[in-house]
């Protein structure tokens, strides 16, 4: 959502890029020959993993976008429970804290299975650039996107990096 | 106590000597196979045969061929019985009058024994470590007398410099230079510390010296103390060596009673006391600054050097720290002279070195060889090669700080420089032989795990770096790693080596780096294709796309 | 005291004998990164971030624990040093659970700031995700082991400025952790004077005032400076 904080820059951006896939673009499958993908979120379940592999195959430049993608952040706190934590995590969420109709979300082929371990994106595939931040400040996003658009290899340093 | 008292003890001992001596190994290795029972039964058998006046059953220190213990040697018959059980006792006694006991024997003239040169272990397996008189009989404490009565501290240091002895703890720092530095450091109070915190996996040289000849270490410490001007010594010995501790305690007590430790030793103005400090089993406490912190009762963590202990050591006083084997070399040097010692070994590595032979080798045990002996002589001739006809693949020296020397370099002479050139170190004397069934990546992982567990946690590269390196090695072994992981491992090796605070961290990457140097193919064989690596697109066969922009 | 002449990063500098390389560099306006160093307490040379190259010395030396010498030529900022420093930080971030987004010190954290200044935008090593707890038994302060980098500043201020000796290190290797007295809950400590110096000294969100929520925890280093000035110069100057 912090992408929307780019405000008027978004208007300039629309002339320069085609947004072909995003949560707000109605596209069922990830398209081929994508130039740049800003990936949000940690890799938590099999669906994430499959999509990430597909993205890597069909994209030239990947940017890990935001702390969850860069560090696995809050979603990875469950990793502290050790391997084999998925059952206890689901128990806690869907049984112990359920107000009514407690049941585990299990439907093979429909509900993706949780991975044993939540991972940052670059642990799974090669990532070209990193833009940490929770969320990444709009100024940092603008700096990175501008550098890429002008053909410069993005290089954020010092005050342009922010975690949390 | 004067020289004449020593001579009297010696004369009395020699006069009481019986016709036959049965030496029973009473070091930790044989004790664990009921050597005590063997000795008791031999004493019973001697009594039953009515031979008390002719046969002495003597508990002695390590007889070196540890894999065949318990060992019993009959002198002057020169028969060496192996794997002796208490039930064998009557047969051994019967065989003293000729005839053969139907008990397996080892050949005392075999290469394992013939190639040894005893300086440190000269008394091991010969004298009774629990009787100071036994040590005095072989010339014990005469060197201390000579030093105290005839030499100035300066002469003592000069003799040590002339001998060319280098520290046997691993790094090989010239002992004479160290003594000289401590001697010159200003300070009214100085300390001597004997580092007996032997911790390398598979190493038991220092334990054997302490169990077999504790007085030689005490005498060496006293000579060193006189040379540098110290009057108090500590032996820092690990709690896992209960037998060494009890023999040391006994030796200190006997030495004090006889007056070779204490005040006005040999009627000179020199005073010296020795106390034991028992370590709680932390490997890092073998590092000198951590060891001193531990002696002071603090958490055993190293500190940056300088200042070196010679300048500011225990309680901030100038302190001399040497290892057990170094101190055990001291009395023979003063008994026989610096030239004698300097005549043994190679140009830069003088004297002998004790090694604990272990691993995939026929004769495991303790050996002492002149510096410069080729590794091949040690592992093939003396060690008898790998058991079951297997080929030797590598020899690991220096424990977790050392490296693996591959079979093609077996002709390397054992000295500080040659081993260093091969990316290993002399170390304290652990020598682990590996045959062709050994997975070298697993060897690297084993030593990395050791360093990870033994890191004190003070500095970041060692504390957190060893964990990451260990995890990467595990990942490689599980066939889950890619070339990028191997690169990360190598980068970490370099970083941990160059940035860690103490020797433990600085040398922790050594086993990994040396196996990478000589057995890189074994690592590469375990790597997986980097399907989603840089330029990767999930297909193992397709050429990576050029990196965008 | 004799003066020593040396160069740091090519700059000629005169220093007092007995001063450390870190002190001298700071006076000359050359910033060397540190984490375990804290003005006023003795140095331990543990974080290895301040390692510098000294011409003629094969090993890298910690600037905080190395005394200046005549004619020393020091480099504080080479490509190799930058690489090692970044790796050191990555190792720290991977070692415990430094979840900046939900940390009380977010935005006021020395570890975070150090990561920015050394250009660390991600961690290449696998996060270890160890299980560490939070000790909130003390009335005023809390200790979150997940954020601890084991710099031992808290231990040193506790022993050498407050003189209470409450804080200590237990365990070995990566299992090392800060303990209170004989490894008891902080709230049960009899030696703790509740002075809070450890909280002021902590570079991260490991030690915090209770009641601070994410991003709220700010330090008051002036308190420590006041005590150090009082001890060393016998001046009780209250900073305004």
Q: What is the pLDDT of residues C109-137, one digit of tens each?
A: 999 999 999 999 999 999 999 999 999 99
Q: What is the reported pLDDT for C76?
A: 97
Residue C211 sits in a domain whose CATH number is 3.30.70.20
Confidence of residue B350 (pLDDT cuts 50, 70, 90): very high
Smallest Cβ–Cβ distance between A56 and the set B538, B547, B548 belongs to B538
Q: Which domain holds residue C19?
A: 3-77
Q: What is the reported pLDDT for B446?
A: 97
Confidence of residue B540 (pLDDT cuts 50, 70, 90): low
Confidence of residue B212 (pLDDT cuts 50, 70, 90): very high
Residue B548 has pLDDT above 60, yes or no: no
Burial level of C137, CB count in 10 A (0-12/13-18/19+)? middle
- Chains A, B: CB pairs < 8 Å: 29
Neighbours of B449 (CB within 10 A): 17
* Distance from the Cα of residue B275 to its chain's centroid: 21
- Residues of chain A with pLDDT > 70, as a percent, come to 100
Contact A125/B534, CB-based, under 8 Å?
A: no
C57 and C128 together in one domain: no
For residue B283, give how far its alpha carbon lies from the nearest alpha carbon of chain C (Å): 11
Contact A76/C129, CB-based, under 8 Å?
A: yes
Residue B210 has pLDDT above 60, yes or no: yes
> What is the 3-class SS of A26-41, one letter each residue?
CCCCCCCCEEEEEECC
Smallest Cβ–Cβ distance between A77 and the set C99, C124, C215 belongs to C99
CA angle C59, C61, C63 (to 5 degrees): 165
- Measure Cα distances from A101 to A88, A93, A96, A107 in Å: 18, 12, 11, 16
Q: Are strands B232-238 and B191-196 parallel, antiparallel or unpaired?
A: parallel
Q: Which residues of chain A make contact with C103, given a CB cutoff of 8 A?
A: 164
- Residues 474-493 (B) with a CB less than 8 A from some CB of C: 488, 491-492
**Two structure tokens written together for C128:** 């270890």
Is residue C54 in a domain? yes
Contact C116/A82, CB-based, under 8 Å?
A: no
Q: What is the pLDDT of residues B158-208, one digit of tens each?
A: 999 999 999 998 889 999 999 999 999 999 999 999 999 999 988 999 999
Give the residue from C56, C77, C98 where a domain finishes.
C77
Is residue C169 in a domain? yes
Looking at residue C72, the DSSP 8-state letter turns out to be -
Neighbours of A65 (CB within 10 A): 26
- Number of Cα atoms under 13 Å in the Cβ half of residue B190: 27
| CA-based nearest residue to C167, from B457, C156, C194 | C156
Q: Which chains touch B (3 or more CB pairs under 8 A)?
A: A, C
Contact A53/B534, CB-based, under 8 Å?
A: no
C49 and C105 together in one domain: no
Q: What is the reported pLDDT for C226?
A: 84
Is residue C239 in a domain? no
C61 and C89 together in one domain: no
- Measure Cα distances from B429 to B261, B358, C100 in Å: 29, 11, 48
Contact A81/C93, CB-based, under 8 Å?
A: no
How many Å apart are CA A58 and CA A52, to the nearest integer? Answer: 10
C131 and C226 together in one domain: yes
**Helix (H) or strand (E) segment spanning residue A71:** helix A67-71
Q: Which chains touch A (3 or more CB pairs under 8 A)?
A: B, C
| CA-based nearest residue to B58, from B90, B18, B91 | B18
Judge whether B283 and C172 are in contact, CB under 8 Å: no
Is residue C175 in a domain? yes
Compute the average pLDDT of residues A106-117. 90
Smallest Cβ–Cβ distance between C121 and the set A80, A130, A134 belongs to A130
Is residue C204 in a domain? yes
Q: What is the reported pLDDT for A82?
A: 87
Q: What is the pLDDT of residues B404-428, one digit of tens each?
A: 999 999 999 999 999 999 989 998 9
Whole-number mean pLDDT of chain C? 94
For residue A53, give how far its alpha carbon lies from the nearest alpha carbon of chain C (Å): 19
- Number of Cα atoms under 13 Å in the Cβ half of residue C25: 27
Compute the average pLDDT of residues A94-101. 92
Which three-class secondary structure state does DSSP give residue B375? helix
C116 and C15 together in one domain: no
C142 and C179 together in one domain: yes
For residue B214, give how far its alpha carbon lies from the nearest alpha carbon of chain A (Å): 49
Q: Are strands B79-81 and B72-75 parallel, antiparallel or unpaired?
A: antiparallel
| Neighbour-count burial for C155-188, b at 16+ CB within 10 Å, e otherwise | bbbbbebbebebbbbeebbbebbbbbbeeeebee
Neighbours of B256 (CB within 10 A): 13
Contact B536/A124, CB-based, under 8 Å?
A: no
How many Å apart are CA A152 and CA C163, to the nearest integer? Answer: 55
- Measure Cα distances from C103 to C109, C212, C213 in Å: 9, 10, 8
Q: What is the reported pLDDT for B541?
A: 53
- Measure Cα distances from A17 to A12, A34, A138 in Å: 9, 11, 18
| CA-based nearest residue to C45, from C59, C57, C56 | C59
| CA-based nearest residue to C36, from C78, C80, C88, C82 | C88
Q: What is the pLDDT of residues A40-64, one digit of tens each?
A: 999 999 999 999 999 999 999 999 9
Residue C234 has pLDDT above 90, yes or no: no
A145 touches chain B (CB under 8 A): no
- Residues of chain B with pLDDT > 70, as a percent, come to 97
| CA-based nearest residue to B320, from B140, B161, B167 | B167
Contact A80/C97, CB-based, under 8 Å?
A: yes
Is residue C25 in a domain? yes
| CA-based nearest residue to B168, from B330, B377, B334 | B330
How many Å apart are CA B352 and CA B414, to the nearest integer? Answer: 10
For residue C100, give how far its alpha carbon lies from the nearest alpha carbon of chain A (Å): 4
Compute the average pLDDT of residues B435-458. 97
Stronger pLDDT, A154 or B231, i.e. the higher one: B231
Q: What is the pLDDT of residues C172-203, one digit of tens each?
A: 999 999 999 999 999 999 999 999 999 999 99
How many Å apart are CA A137 and CA A145, to the nearest integer? Answer: 13
Give phi and psi for B367, each to the nearest 5. -130, 150
**Two structure tokens written together for C71:** 């004619």
Is residue C44 in a domain? yes
Neighbours of A159 (CB within 10 A): 11
Could you give the maximum distance between any two Cα atoms of chain B, in Å?
97
Neighbours of C192 (CB within 10 A): 23
C210 and C108 together in one domain: yes
Residue C46 sits in a domain whose CATH number is 3.10.20.740
Q: What is the pLDDT of residues B281-308, one digit of tens each?
A: 899 999 999 999 999 999 999 999 999 9
Contact C171/B453, CB-based, under 8 Å?
A: no
How many independent structural domains does chain C possess?
A: 2
Domains of chain B in sequence order: 20-109 (3.40.30.10), 132-342 (3.40.50.11540), 352-438 (3.10.20.600), 441-526 (1.20.1440.230)
Residue C152 has pLDDT above 70, yes or no: yes
Nearest CA in chain C to A135: C101
Give the residue from C55, C77, C99 where a domain finishes.
C77
Q: Which residues of chain A make contact with C100, given a CB cutoff of 8 A?
A: 67, 71, 134, 163-164
Q: What is the reported pLDDT for A158?
A: 82
| Neighbour-count burial for B81-92, b at 16+ CB within 10 Å, e otherwise | bbebebebbbbb
Looking at residue A74, the DSSP 8-state letter turns out to be G
C184 and C219 together in one domain: yes
A61 touches chain B (CB under 8 A): yes
According to DSSP, the residues that pair with B359 across neighbouring strands are: B433
Compute the average pLDDT of residues B89-108. 87
> What is the 3-class SS of B47-64, one letter each residue?
HHCCCCCCEEEEEECCCC
Smallest Cβ–Cβ distance between C126 and the set A64, A123, A163 belongs to A123
Residue B544 has pLDDT above 80, yes or no: no
Contact A164/C130, CB-based, under 8 Å?
A: no
Peptide bond into B429 cis (omega under 30): no
Domains of chain A in sequence order: 2-79+115-160 (3.40.50.700)
Smallest Cβ–Cβ distance between B304 and the set C45, C124, C152 belongs to C45
Q: What is the reported pLDDT for B539?
A: 66
Q: What is the reported pLDDT for B542?
A: 46
C104 and C209 together in one domain: yes
**Two structure tokens written together for B66:** 């540890």
A53 touches chain B (CB under 8 A): yes
C127 and C216 together in one domain: yes
Is residue C240 in a domain? no
Helices (DSSP H) in chain C: which residue ranges?
Answer: 21-27, 79-95, 110-117, 153-157, 197-201, 222-233
Compute the average pLDDT of residues B250-270. 96
What is chain B's length? Answer: 549
Could you identify the residue written with the tokens 């040169």? B117
Judge whether B462 and B504 are in contact, CB under 8 Å: yes
Burial level of A80, CB count in 10 A (0-12/13-18/19+)? middle
C164 and C204 together in one domain: yes
Which three-class secondary structure state does DSSP give residue C211? coil
Give phi and psi for C168, each to the nearest 5. -155, 175
Compute the average pLDDT of residues A13-40. 91
Whole-number mean pLDDT of chain B? 94
Smallest Cβ–Cβ distance between C116 and the set A72, A73, A159 belongs to A159
How many Å apart are CA B245 and CA B278, to the nearest integer? Answer: 8
Judge whether A61 and B549 are in contact, CB under 8 Å: yes
What are the strands of the beta sheet with B392-397, ordered from one edge? B365-370, B352-359, B430-435, B392-397, B403-406
- Number of Cα atoms under 13 Å in the Cβ half of residue B282: 25
Give the residue from C77, C100, C134 where a domain finishes.
C77
C126 and C212 together in one domain: yes
What is chain A's length? Answer: 164
pTM score: 0.93
């Amino acid at each position: 959502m912090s992408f929307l904080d780019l405000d008027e820059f978004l208007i300039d951006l629309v002339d320069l890029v085609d947004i072909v896939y995003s949560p707000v673009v109605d596209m069922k499958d990830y398209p081929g020959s994508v130039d740049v993908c800003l990936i949000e979120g940690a890799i938590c379940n099999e669906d994430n993993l499959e999509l990430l592999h597909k993205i890597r195959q069909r994209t030239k430049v990947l940017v890990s976008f935001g702390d969850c993608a860069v560090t696995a952040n809050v979603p990875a706190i469950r990793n502290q429970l050790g391997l084999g934590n998925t059952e206890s995590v689901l128990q806690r969420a869907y049984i112990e804290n359920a107000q009514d109709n407690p049941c585990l979300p299990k439907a093979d082929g429909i509900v993706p299975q949780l991975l044993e371990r939540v991972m940052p994106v670059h642990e799974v595939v090669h990532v070209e650039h990193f833009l940490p931040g929770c969320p990444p400040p709009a100024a940092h996003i603008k700096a990175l996107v501008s550098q890429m658009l002008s053909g410069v290899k993005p290089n954020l340093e010092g005050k342009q990096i922010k975690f949390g | 106590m004067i020289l004449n008292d020593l001579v009297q003890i010696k004369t009395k001992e020699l006069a009481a000597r019986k016709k036959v001596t049965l030496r029973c190994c009473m070091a930790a290795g044989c004790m664990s196979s009921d050597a005590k029972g063997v000795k008791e039964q031999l004493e019973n058998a001697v009594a039953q045969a009515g031979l008390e006046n002719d046969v002495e059953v003597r508990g002695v220190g390590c007889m070196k061929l540890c894999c065949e213990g318990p060992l019993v040697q009959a002198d002057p018959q020169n028969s060496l019985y192996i794997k002796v059980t208490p039930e064998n006792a009557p047969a051994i006694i019967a065989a003293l009058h000729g005839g053969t006991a139907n008990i397996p024997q080892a050949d005392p003239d075999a290469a394992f024994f013939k190639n040894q040169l005893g300086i440190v272990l000269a008394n091991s397996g010969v004298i009774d470590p629990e009787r100071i008189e036994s040590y005095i009989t072989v010339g014990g404490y005469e060197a201390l007398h000579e030093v105290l009565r005839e030499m100035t501290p300066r002469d003592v240091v000069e003799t040590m410099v002339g001998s060319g002895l280098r520290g046997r703890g691993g790094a090989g720092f010239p002992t004479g230079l160290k003594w000289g530095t401590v001697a010159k450091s200003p300070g009214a109070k100085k300390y001597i510390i004997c580092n007996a915190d032997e911790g390398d996996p598979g190493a038991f040289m220092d334990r054997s010296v302490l169990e077999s000849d504790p007085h030689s270490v005490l005498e060496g410490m006293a000579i060193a103390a006189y040379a540098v001007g110290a009057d108090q010594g500590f032996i820092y010995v690990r709690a896992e060596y209960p037998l060494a501790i009890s023999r040391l305690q006994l030796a200190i007590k006997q030495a004090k009673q006889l007056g070779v430790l204490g005040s006005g030793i040999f009627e000179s103005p020199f005073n010296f006391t020795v106390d034991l400090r028992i370590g709680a089993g932390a490997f890092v406490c073998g590092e000198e600054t951590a060891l001193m912190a531990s002696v002071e009762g603090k958490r055993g963590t190293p500190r940056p050097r300088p200042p070196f202990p010679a300048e500011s050591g225990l309680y901030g006083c100038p302190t001399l720290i040497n290892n057990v084997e170094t101190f055990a070399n001291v009395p023979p040097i003063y008994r026989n002279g610096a030239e004698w010692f300097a005549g043994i070994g190679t140009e830069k590595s003088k004297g002998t070195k004790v090694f604990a032979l272990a691993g995939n080798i026929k004769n495991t045990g303790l050996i002492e060889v002149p510096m410069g002996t080729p590794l091949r002589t040690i592992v093939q001739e003396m060690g008898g090669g790998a058991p079951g006809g297997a080929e030797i693949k590598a020899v690991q020296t220096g424990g977790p700080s050392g490296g693996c020397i591959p079979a093609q370099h077996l002709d390397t002479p054992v000295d500080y420089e040659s081993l260093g050139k091969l990316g290993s170190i002399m170390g304290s004397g652990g020598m682990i032989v590996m045959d062709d069934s050994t997975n070298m990546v697993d060897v690297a992982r084993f030593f990395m795990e050791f360093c990870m567990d033994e890191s004190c946690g003070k500095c970041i590269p060692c504390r957190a770096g060893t964990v990451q390196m260990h995890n990467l090695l595990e990942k490689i072994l599980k066939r889950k790693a890619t070339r990028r992981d191997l690169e990360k491992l190598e980068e970490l090796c370099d970083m941990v080596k160059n940035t860690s605070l103490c020797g433990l961290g600085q040398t922790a990457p050594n086993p990994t780096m040396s196996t990478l140097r000589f057995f890189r193919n074994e690592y590469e064989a375990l790597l997986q294709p980097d399907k989603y690596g840089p330029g990767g697109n999930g297909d193992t066969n397709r050429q990576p796309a050029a990196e965008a922009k | 005291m004799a003066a020593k002449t040396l160069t740091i990063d090519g700059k000629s500098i005169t220093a007092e004998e007995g001063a450390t390389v870190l002190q001298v560099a700071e006076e000359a306006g050359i910033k060397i990164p540190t984490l375990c160093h804290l003005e006023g307490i003795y140095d331990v040379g543990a974080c290895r971030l301040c390692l510098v190259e000294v011409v003629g010395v094969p090993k890298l030396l910690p600037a905080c624990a190395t005394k200046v010498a005549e004619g020393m030529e020091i480099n504080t900022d080479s490509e190799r040093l930058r690489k090692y420093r970044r790796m050191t930080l990555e190792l720290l971030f991977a070692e415990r659970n430094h979840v900046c987004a939900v940390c009380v010190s977010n935005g006021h954290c020395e570890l975070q700031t150090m990561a920015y200044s050394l250009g660390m935008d991600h961690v290449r090593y696998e996060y270890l995700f160890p299980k560490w707890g939070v000790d909130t038994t003390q009335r005023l302060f809390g200790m979150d082991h997940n954020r601890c980098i084991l710099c031992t500043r808290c231990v040193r201020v506790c022993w050498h400025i407050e003189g209470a000796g409450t804080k200590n290190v237990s365990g070995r290797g990566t299992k090392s952790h800060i303990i209170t007295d004989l490894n008891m809950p902080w709230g049960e400590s009899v030696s703790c004077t509740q002075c809070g110096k450890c909280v002021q000294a902590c570079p991260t969100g490991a030690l915090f005032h209770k009641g601070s929520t994410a991003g709220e925890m700010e330090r008051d280093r002036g308190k420590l400076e006041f005590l150090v000035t009082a001890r060393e110069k016998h001046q009780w100057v209250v900073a305004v």
